[in-house]
Amino acid sequence: MSIHSLTLRTFHPARLSAVTLAIAAAMVPCVATAQTAEQATGDDVEKIMVTARKRTESIYETPTAVSSIGEGIIDDTNVTNLDDVGKYVPNLNISRYGAGNSGHAAVFIRGIGLQDHIITTDPGVGVYLDGVYLGRQMGANMSLPNIQRVEVLRGPQGTLYGRNTLGGAVNIITKAPGSQDLATVAAKVGTRGRLATDLYVNKDINDDFSVSGTASFKQRDGVGTAVNLEDPEREIGEENEYSGRIAAKYVVSSDFSVTVSADFVENEAGQSPYTIEFIPGGPEQFSIDDGEFYLLEPSLIPNDPDDLGTTVAGIESTAYSGWGAALTAEWTATDNLDVKFLASKRASDYEGGLDDDASPLNLSEFPETGDADQTSLELQLNGTFDNFDFVSGLYYFTEEGTTASGPWTFSPFNVPNGRLNDGTPVTEVCSFCGDYGFFDINQETTAYAAYGNISYSLTDKLNVGGGLRYSRDEKDADALFPSFGERAFRSVDFSEVTWDVNAGYNLTDDLNMYLAVQKGYQTGGFPPRPFGGPAQFVSFDETTAINYEVGFKGAIGDRVTFMSAFFLTDYTDLALPFSDPQAGGGFVTIVENAGESRSQGVELELTVDVTDNFVVRSSVGFLDAEITSLDEGVVGIGEGDAPALSPKWTLMIAPTYFHELNDGALVSASVDFSFRDEMQGQSVFNPYETIDARELVGFNVSYEPAAGDWSLSLYGKNVFNEIYDQGRLAQNGYVGIVRSNDRSEFGLRFTKSFDLY
């Protein structure tokens, strides 16, 4: 008996609403969907389906480590954006540093990721929306209305997903139009000025044409203020966002269908909470002539670390906007062959920036803007025969983007007349220091790929498979920095063959194991901030990884379902941020190939039906990641150091209790606890860049009447108001700290569903 039937056998399936089914489905550790009553009441754990390998298959038979967060968890455990998903998946960590913009999401899996957002750097974990790769980390921290599930694949995904999935991939899958004929309205009101509303409509216009749409709005007050600005545009940490999505599906014939979709987001927010801490023994002041000039006086830093001391108007505000359109055509060519074509166009732009000294001294201020436009095309030929199936495809991707900053100030020796006390010009100490400078960096990327993956059933119990992919990337970049003299132009191309082999074996009807070896690939690029001059604006090589993994998945008895993975991954030419001694006095951190790294660990996701009405979900991840060798000339990093943003332990536990009242109404109560161990804020080891461990607790209590067409929930998020660091970066004598924005929040959420006829 599966977890689904154990959860629901007390209640008659005929009266269960979509909301109840979603809550029930949320009790599965790796939720697939809450689409149908058949999935929610079936007796087979293998009806939990995912599309992680671009084919629909049981999550318990997929020969890779994958977690799936379904709409039950999204709706009922206060998951509102991608950042929240990081609480529920082992060895997944999602952080934000980029330009103080809350739309930024640096996704790290098993110690691999890259938190820089500049156009010339690519992420180490790929994020996909309905199969479309999102090329930028800025904007990846998207809100999650109208979401069916989020699948997180851990480990290199070089065959089916290709470039920039070195650590893994995150698939965001929306609800498809059709087959529901309903409308749902949700409204939320809470502390800190929280207001939010979502409208979802799904309707079959006729037998051949269906549409769906979502409109969403959310806002929340800030957590701090820009104390030195007379009329700040935004409070620090303020939220204000509109988003929408529409999709239509036309069934041309029984063999051919076309789905088109379009989405947008407009976000105007306050800068992420930002403060500094002084490094003991660091240079806090310099003697200038007969007096003293304080590099950074502690009294200038606001007492409340959520306040900002800047005097630069506009730097307290951020903005992000984006839109996308996609077309998916599916053709059943024969009984055994399917053809799928996916085309997409996406565009985004943002505003942000940091006052690095968080004070009125104008030592280091970088207002920033950026934009990116991308186009992708993918053609798949997929087949299923008696003993095997395959997925194959051709892929094309192009992107153009810009990052610009100005007017900026960078003067760690901010002294009268631009000279030190001995008369030495500051520019002789720091070649790129100055007031009111500008820089911009542009890049155009074109990528091509061809891939194939096959799975073959040798016996009823044993399946083997493998895949191969060829990828090629061409990058053209140009940059102009104050130290350049004239614009510098660079071109580079990369190519790589990636592969995987795997085997899966059914130990029993309810228990499976798999073995997998995977090669992944992250494209190379150009350093994001070559302040030191044109000689620093040179390309770094691609990074590759080989992952060895064994996993066990399935059910033990009637009340326990689980998934586990044991892995070891070797990374070569690992791209890391580190301090370049030639970068103008060592003040600049650039990205370059630094050496080799190894990660090994264990992941476990477990669900236990303690009773018919009490279920406990949990997950735990252990990660031992270290840099094993360094290239010549790399400083600031030591062999044995852990890569950035790689907590050793990740933990989640979420008990839920259901109770049916005498009148047939359903009450559910859940608590969720999430833990992320301490980690290094940057790969450049500095004890003052260590991010402390964090513990987050939330709860949700819901009431649903017997009719099942509405629900009311009392929720609490981060109930103990844990304030934690998102990122830490050592400056000259102090550490810049981007702090968390998800503070304690309590409120009510009301949801009402309407049948559409």
pLDDT 10s digits, 584-595 = 444 455 677 777
CA–CA distances in Å: residue 153 to residues 52, 127, 131, 392, 607: 7, 10, 13, 19, 19
Residue with tokens 């290239």: 631
pLDDT of residue 117: 85
What pairs with residue 667 in β-bridges? 659, 703
- Reference 684, options 740, 645, 737, 733; nearest CA is 645
pLDDT of residue 432: 59
Measured over the CA atoms of residue 30, residue 31, residue 37 and residue 38, the dihedral's sign is: negative
CA distance 342 to 131: 8
* 199 and 215 Cβ atoms separated by less than 8 Å: yes
Q: What are phi and psi of 24, to 5 degrees?
A: -65, -45
Token pair in block for residue 554: 């399935």
Cis-peptide, bond into residue 90, ω within 30° of zero? no
* 306 and 273 Cβ atoms separated by less than 8 Å: yes
pLDDT of residue 284: 53
pLDDT of residue 576: 73
Token pair in block for residue 475: 């990058």
Beta strands in 236-296 (DSSP E): 239-253, 256-270, 274-278, 285-288, 291-294
CA distance 36 to 360: 58
**Stated pTM of the model:** 0.88
Query: Residue 114 burial (CB < 10 Å; 0-12/13-18/19+)?
Result: buried
Q: How many CB atoms lie within 10 A of CB 104?
A: 29
pLDDT of residue 733: 72
For the chain, list residues with pLDDT below 70.
Answer: 1-48, 76, 281-296, 411-436, 577-590, 633, 635-636, 683-685, 732
pLDDT of residue 109: 92
pLDDT of residue 668: 94
Sorted by sequence, the CB contacts under 8 Å of residue 424 that are 6+ apart come out as none
Q: How far does CA 430 lie from the centroid of its chain?
A: 36
